[in-house]
Structure 1
Amino acid sequence: MELSPTAIALIGLILAAWTLGAAAIILRSSRKLRRLDALRTSVRRMSKLLDEAPAVPLLVRADGRVEAPEKLAGWLGLDKKPQYLSELAGGQGKGLSPEQLEQLSDAIKATQKSAAPFRMAITPPGSKRSLALRGSLADPAVSPGGSAQVWIFDFSESEAELSELREEATRAKGDFAALVGLIEAAPMPMWFRGPDARLRLVNRAYVEAVDAEDAEQVVSKQIELIEEIDGLGPAQIAQQAAQQGLAAERIVPATTHGQRRSYRVSDLPLGSEGVAGYAIDIEEMEQQAREFRAFREAQRAMLDQLSLGVAQFDASQKLVFANKPFLRQFDLSFGAITDALPFDRFLSDAREKRRTPEVRDFPAWRAEHLAWFGTRDTQEEAWPLPGGVHLRIVAQPMPDGGLVLIAEDRTEQLALSATRDTLLRTRTATLDSLFEALAVFAPDGSLQLWNRSFAGTWGLDEDELDSHPSADQLLKLIAPNLARPARAKVIGEIIRAATLDRQEKGGRIELADGRTLEFAGVPLPDGNGLLTVLDITDSQKAENALRERNIALEEADAVKARFLANMSYEFRTPLTSIGGFAELIQSGAAGEVSDQLKEYTDAILESVGRLTEQVENVLDLSQSEAGLLPLNLERVELLPFVTEVVRSREKAILDGGLSLDLRGNAGGSIEADKRQLGRAIGNLLDNAIGATGEGGKILVDIARGKSGARIVISDNGSGMENEELSRALDGMRAKEDGSLERRQGLGIPLARQLVEAHGGTLTLQSEKGAGTTAMIRLP
């Protein structure tokens, strides 16, 4: 058995106290010894008799055989001399009792093993004789082989008492010397105080702890190791311990070798002799205790952050810790920990709060769970609670006899599992209902999942897919159904790209039956690859038809462009002739021109001009749509340019009774074709003039910024609705009777085309009854 430093120190101090007491007894007996000095001569004469004092030797060998005189049998009331140690108990009131024999046997065995001496006193049953036994390891000269030598003294005679006193005094001196050596060599500071509580003896560890030169210096200067506590010095505390007759123990700080350390100090009263003391350095223990407390607090703080409920019960089945999730799960207050709630009470309270499963025999169920403390195996149970809550309970026995209880709320997990199952069934049903054929391949290329359309699309038997073939095996089954069997490797490359390379690729392939399939490989987040297959035979036919129709439309558009070009040329020639003849008539070359004839020729010239403009608009519009409109770009100062365009409409503005507000800053310029851009702005102005009644107002705002130029033309005329606005962009507007008529001809569509030809945009905003705003943005 290992003894702690404290226990060793206590034993040493008790032996010291005993030795000091023995020394006191010897001193008190010195007077008797002085009286016996006169008998010294008689004692010498009786030395022979002292050698034959009433003591019986007993030699016990390692095998249990004994050697003893016949006198021992007489003392023990035995019929014959014992040969073995077990024969010392003769039975029927003779010899030693079984208990005494067992005690003696244990002491002898301990001496034989450790060479430790022993003492004991016994009185044989039925005898008034008191025997003292002193055992030790026999000298090898007497009996080799680990024998034990036991001296048995008869305390019935006074000479035996004197001999025992002398022996005990001698032994006390030896023990005292050994104890002094032990104290001096002790690694802990030890000291002895007299009745006046002053230091009288200190060991080497004490001297080193207070950095003194030697023990004499410590005693002479009364150098204390321990500091005052609450105004009481160490001498005062020792004196109080002596007065009360009780040991005083405390933990105090002290400075040794320049370091602040913690000591457990004990003061042990030794009666009237004084007080012994010792100090054990427990700084490492305190540090470990602080670290353990910090670790435990950190561990419990960490457990509070878990979603799992954790509780700890000690060996007495009382609650010593529970984290916040556990308290919440079982509706416990923090007082349950401070009150050390018993485990059986915890189960009962949990049942009342409907936190345990519904069982028929709750006392038996509780007793079964109390048995968890006596098992070594981990216990695990599922607790379905009322209200749909499901707990997973794990009970982990601890080495100290306690139990750690872990409660995991699996309600959401089970709900998610049920949802997952539902989703899997829904996924399967969804995949099977898709028109598109799908298949999922694992990273190793094996077929994992497919829908009903997959086998039919590739012309395969569903039984061939039930074995989850690899991609290579699947391609061998598909190849005969292809128009070109060698193209099957393309499908393998797509599958490999989706599963291994994690790349999305696609392709098309034709089957032997004339169908066309479009397929693609898509990498999935779980590492698998998805192969999607779609029968595009019908869409391919439709695409071919649309392509042919597009070619026909392009040819028709080209015919239209050529027609418009020819038409505008054919129109210009007669219009030029009509205009020329009208001007000749108006100039009087054909005779005198009357007022009525002049009015007719003016109407002819106006119509010719309008028709010429429309023909040019049609030609420019067709060229713009074809991307063939020529532009003669030059640097144009924006404000003078727009002012000139506005002034060209001055007569129409005045005739309509309108007012016009032109705003803008000088200095802004852009790259533009003056003729084409002027036509676009002029068409928008014409549209605003035509849509605004008498007294109306037209605003033209010009701005130049970092992103480009902006020209806004707005009016407060009749305005248009959304549908009418979209039609205006196509050059049409609705009459009151619902029919469509031209609104300023092709002005707005042509203006949009001309602006877009300059890289700009034209936007229109209009509100019925409020007016229209056109905004041109140019780079």
Structure 2
Amino acid sequence: MSVKKMSLFQQADPSCGDAGAKTTGPSCGDTVEGSVSGKAKRLALFASAFLSGTAFSGLATGALAQQSGSAAVRLFSSTEVIVSSVVLGALGAALLSSVWLVRQRGNLTAESQEIRSALSDAQQRISKYEALIADKNRRIVVWESGSSKPEFLGQLPVETGAPQSDRDFLAFGRWLRPASAGELDKLIEALRNEARTFDTVVETNRDEILEVQGRVSGGKAFVRFLALNNLRAELAELKIERERLTTSISMFHSLLDAIEQPVWRRDAQGKLTWVNHAYGEAVEASTPEHVIEEGREFLGTIAREKIKATATAASPFHDRVSTVVHGNRTVFDVVDVVVPGGSAGMATDVSEAEAVREELKRTLKSHAETLDHLGTPVAIFDGERRLQFYNQAFVQLWGLTLPFLDSRPDNGELLDKLRSDGKLPEQLNWRSWKDSALSVYRSTETQTDLWHLPNGQTLRVIATAHPQGGATWVFENLTEQVDLETRYNTLVQVQGETIDHLSEGVAVFGPDGRIRLSNPAFRALWGITAEQAKPGTHIKAIEAACAPSYDQPDGWRRFGQMLTTFNDARIPLQGTLELYSGLILDYAAIPLPNAQTMLTFVDTTASARAERALKEKNEALQKADEIKNDFVQHVSYELRSPLTNIIGFTDLLKTPGVGPLNERQAEYIDHISTSSSVLLTIVNDILDLATVDAGIMELQLSEMAIDDLLDDVAMQIADRLHENGVNLAITAQAGLGMIVADEQRLKQILLKLLTNATNFAPEGSTITLNCWRNPKEVYFSVTDKGPGMSEDMLKTVFNRFSANSRGGKRSGAGLGLSIVESFVHLHNGDVVIDSKPGQGTTVTCRIPSGAAVRSIAAE
């Protein structure tokens, strides 16, 4: 503005140097009119300056210049000039403003027309775009910057399953697959927050494929959902399938890398293309890549050639292969699959499984052998309910044939077989009972049942199902248990009745000192009531109730101490109590199992009196026995001397030096000699028995040869055998060895047996003397073919003076076998007689070969 003013002033007086100069001179055109006051000039200049911004500025300036130029011709007053300038300026300004407004209005009208035309074009384009967007194959979601609500454009086909409602559309989890919904939420969040664009495909719950694109433009986020046509849908499906397969392959590679079994893949030429870490460790390679580079093989050449020769696409190779891993021979279960592009295989270490399998076989065999030796019948059925195992006790219980059992019958078939054979209990509804028995295969619990068989046996049947299928049947024979239980209950009842009817008083106390049971005799002996002796009463109360009956307070106190003692070893007590009533009771405190104690009281009043009488009689009998023994010994010794004289003189009369005897005299002399010998034998036997009974017989033990003993006995009995016309056969092995015994008494035993056999043996028969031994004993037996003995005779054959003369050639005193038994017992042996009427008799003596020395025989 100041520049314009400067130019205007310069045009006013171009001859002047500076429009703003204050000095004037003749060069500036000073005239007469130069006397115009400085004030008027200043007003004129002010008016020119005021109008210089308007259209009238030129007029004002021209007028001023004209006024200055023609000052000499016409002189205007400054007031007039100012007023006219103002008026003219105002008119010019108004005119110019009108012109400017008219022009400006025209410009506005033109701009409005252009805006309307552009708006119309924009609306047409928006309609076109909305028509394109409103296609049923796509939908766009637009988000403004910030947290504004989204704007939705277009729709997706109904068959895709996409909701038509805007609110439901963003709930992707309701109409998209979970994996697609989760991935899409993450992509949209990254698009809005980080402006990260994306292109992906998603799957709806109706198996439809949608292409989703995320873009950012003008501060807005756009997500376009596009329903694909056939080709694009197939391409998207292939893409999804490719991603799924890629993920699966990667997952399987990771899985195969994590397992401990070596896995490999080969190409069509058999070269390794991939191995897992377990394969690399097996071949001692640092990484699987080194295995591929170096071509290290896990299996041997023979095994690989076998796999190559036998594996086909239809029949994969599957076998056990042995190879060396880390220096150890290991067995692997190898599976190799052939495919058109090559092959793949995996090896599972079964060395431990083989060892476990062998151990299992041995264990099963051991268990089978154990079960086979059990007395309890056992049968095992497999998962198909067929008989897999049975033991001998099972066969014996049911009496089934081995061919039938070896045919592995079904469990139901086995039950039908047992029922048809009449070995199972009769049932009202066989089918229902059978289904109930076989329900063990469908149950997880053990079933137990009792079978009462027709043959009287009672079985507890225990059926247990196996986790892998099948069941085990155990048949526990409870016949004896039931019988024992029945007998036990009967015994308890009988014992209760017996105890109640005993004449002895019985009371049983527990470890706490309280009475458990008592019988009426106990209460009657002590004069107490059943209430006072009821079960649960303490022994102190029993003692107080029994105290008035006797004057020995220590008795019941001792019983109480025994009942309540803490010592493990309880010593039984026995003794006698005499009551005020005159009764004499023998008591006994007997420890019972379970820390119980039984007290018994026997009324021995009558027996005590009888005992006194018996003692007196016994003393008298003992005195008489002593007198008898003294008499026998005395008579025996007194008879031996006359008999010796008689025998001696009889033998003297038989000698030719005395003189000849007639036939009758010789016969009488023989009878006298024979009778004297028999009488001497009887006297000697009686003396021996008396010595044995008195306990004063001494055995002169010595070591002798058994062969010499048998020879001496045969020589001494020879005359008697010849006299009776009987033969003797000695049966003994040569060199039987030595025996420690009394030689005289042992010979006497054998001679008594042979004499007795000779007396009863038929004429012309043979008597057998048999001898044998074992490391500790020697046996002598004498056998004859005589008439034998009956059972009644055998019972009394060892009794003294019990002679059986029937069938014998001579009758005796009946002391022979009694002496034999006594002498054998003195040697710690025994005698056995085996005889039957008409079948002869055998007498066997057992003598210890190294008997202990006994100086005096027991009675």
TM-score by length of 1: 0.54
Structure 2: distance between partners of 1:546 and 1:180: 109
Matched, 1:686 2:763: no
**Cα distance 1:372–1:201, how it changes in 2: closer, same or farther (>3 A)?**
closer
**What letter is aligned with 2:321?**
V
1:399-441 deviation line (CA, Å, top 9, x unaligned): 5565444322111111222222333344345445554433333
1:258 is matched with which residue? Answer: 327
Structure 1: distance between partners of 2:437 and 2:561: 61
1:756-776 deviation line (CA, Å, top 9, x unaligned): 99x999999999888999999
Aligned positions of 1:174-189 closer than 5 A? 187-189=260-262
SS class of match (1:244): coil
Structure 2: distance between partners of 1:753 and 1:162: 130
1:156 is matched with which residue? Answer: 230
Alpha-carbon shift at residue 512 of structure 1 (Å): 0.8
SS class of match (1:233): helix
Structure 1: distance between partners of 2:411 and 2:674: 89
Contact kept, 8 Å, 1:389 with 1:409, in 2: the verdict is: yes
Which of 575, 578, 582 pairs up with 1:510?
A: 578
1:530 is matched with which residue? Answer: 598
SS class of match (2:507): strand
Contact kept, 8 Å, 1:495 with 1:521, in 2: the verdict is: no
Q: Which moved more, 1:260-269 or 1:173-182?
A: 173-182
1:610-653 deviation line (CA, Å, top 9, x unaligned): xxxxxxxxxxx99x98xxxxxxxxxxxxxxxxxxxxxxxxxxxx
Structure 2: distance between partners of 1:756 and 1:335: 72
1:33-86 deviation line (CA, Å, top 9, x unaligned): xxxxxxxxxxxxxxxx9xx9x887999xxxxxx999734236649893575489
**Cα distance 1:470–1:299, how it changes in 2: closer, same or farther (>3 A)?**
farther
Q: How many residues align?
A: 538
Which of 275, 293, 297 pairs up with 1:224?
A: 297
**Cα distance 1:107–1:439, how it changes in 2: closer, same or farther (>3 A)?**
same
1:25 is matched with which residue? Answer: none
1:391 is matched with which residue? Answer: 459
**What letter is aligned with 1:689?**
T
Which of 411, 433, 458 pairs up with 2:479?
A: 411
Matched, 1:248 2:325: no
Matched, 1:194 2:267: yes
Structure 2: distance between partners of 1:368 and 1:377: 13
Alpha-carbon shift at residue 250 of structure 1 (Å): 2.6
Structure 2: distance between partners of 1:114 and 1:344: 64
Structure 2: distance between partners of 1:688 and 1:513: 66
Alpha-carbon shift at residue 342 of structure 1 (Å): 3.7
Structure 1: distance between partners of 2:257 and 2:581: 110
SS class of match (1:392): strand
2:726 is matched with which residue? Answer: none
1:513-534 deviation line (CA, Å, top 9, x unaligned): 1122222223345654333322
Alpha-carbon shift at residue 365 of structure 1 (Å): 2.2
Structure 2: distance between partners of 1:212 and 1:69: 61
2:533 is matched with which residue? Answer: 465
Aligned positions of 1:55-66 closer than 5 A? none
Structure 2: distance between partners of 1:68 and 1:687: 161
1:533-585 deviation line (CA, Å, top 9, x unaligned): 2222234335556778999999x99xxxxxxxxxxxxxxxxxxxxxxxxxxxx
Structure 2: distance between partners of 1:384 and 1:465: 44
SS class of match (1:439): strand
Alpha-carbon shift at residue 328 of structure 1 (Å): 4.1
Alpha-carbon shift at residue 503 of structure 1 (Å): 1.7
1:357 is matched with which residue? Answer: 425
Contact kept, 8 Å, 1:497 with 1:503, in 2: the verdict is: no
2:16 is matched with which residue? Answer: none
Contact kept, 8 Å, 1:57 with 1:151, in 2: the verdict is: yes
Structure 2: distance between partners of 1:478 and 1:347: 67
2:706 is matched with which residue? Answer: none
Matched, 1:207 2:280: yes
Matched, 1:233 2:303: yes
Alpha-carbon shift at residue 205 of structure 1 (Å): 2.7
TM-score by length of 2: 0.49
**What letter is aligned with 2:323?**
A
1:717 is matched with which residue? Answer: 676
Which of 107, 129, 132 pairs up with 2:209?
A: 132
Larger Rg computed on CA atoms: 2
**Cα distance 1:429–1:382, how it changes in 2: closer, same or farther (>3 A)?**
same
Alpha-carbon shift at residue 353 of structure 1 (Å): 2.8
**Cα distance 1:508–1:211, how it changes in 2: closer, same or farther (>3 A)?**
same
1:336-364 deviation line (CA, Å, top 9, x unaligned): 77765444333322322333321122122
SS class of match (1:357): coil
Aligned positions of 1:29-40 closer than 5 A? none
Which of 307, 325, 331 pairs up with 2:393?
A: 325
Contact kept, 8 Å, 2:463 with 2:472, in 1: the verdict is: yes
SS class of match (1:355): coil
SS class of match (2:230): coil
Unaligned runs of 5+ in 1: 1-48, 60-65, 90-100, 125-129, 142-148, 558-620, 626-676, 698-713, 731-747
2:62 is matched with which residue? Answer: none
Which of 307, 321, 336 pairs up with 1:267?
A: 336
SS class of match (2:156): helix
Contact kept, 8 Å, 1:133 with 1:150, in 2: the verdict is: no
SS class of match (1:254): strand
**Cα distance 1:263–1:756, how it changes in 2: closer, same or farther (>3 A)?**
closer
Unaligned runs of 5+ in 2: 1-131, 143-149, 188-199, 217-222, 653-672, 702-741, 756-809, 827-853
**What letter is aligned with 1:154?**
L
Q: Which moved more, 1:477-486 or 1:679-688?
A: 679-688
Alpha-carbon shift at residue 281 of structure 1 (Å): 2.6
SS class of match (1:70): strand
**What letter is aligned with 1:188?**
Q
Structure 2: distance between partners of 1:160 and 1:550: 130
SS class of match (2:450): strand
Structure 1: distance between partners of 2:681 and 2:335: 103
User: Looking at both structures, which has the greater relative contact order when contacts are Cα pairs under 8 Å and sequence separation is at least 6?
Assistant: 1
**Cα distance 1:384–1:171, how it changes in 2: closer, same or farther (>3 A)?**
closer
Contact kept, 8 Å, 2:446 with 2:462, in 1: the verdict is: yes
Share of identical aligned residues, percent? 24
Contact kept, 8 Å, 2:140 with 2:154, in 1: the verdict is: no
SS class of match (1:386): coil
Contact kept, 8 Å, 1:238 with 1:267, in 2: the verdict is: no
Structure 2: distance between partners of 1:752 and 1:178: 108
Which of 80, 96, 102 pairs up with 2:164?
A: 80
Alpha-carbon shift at residue 727 of structure 1 (Å): 8.0
TM-align CA RMSD? 6.0
**What letter is aligned with 1:717?**
S
Contact kept, 8 Å, 1:248 with 1:266, in 2: the verdict is: yes
Alpha-carbon shift at residue 209 of structure 1 (Å): 0.9
1:734-771 deviation line (CA, Å, top 9, x unaligned): xxxxxxxxxxxxxx99x9999899x9999999998889
Structure 2: distance between partners of 1:316 and 1:150: 62
Structure 1: distance between partners of 2:355 and 2:436: 42
**Cα distance 1:280–1:479, how it changes in 2: closer, same or farther (>3 A)?**
same
1:540 is matched with which residue? Answer: 608
**Cα distance 1:152–1:189, how it changes in 2: closer, same or farther (>3 A)?**
farther
Alpha-carbon shift at residue 106 of structure 1 (Å): 6.5
1:70 is matched with which residue? Answer: 154
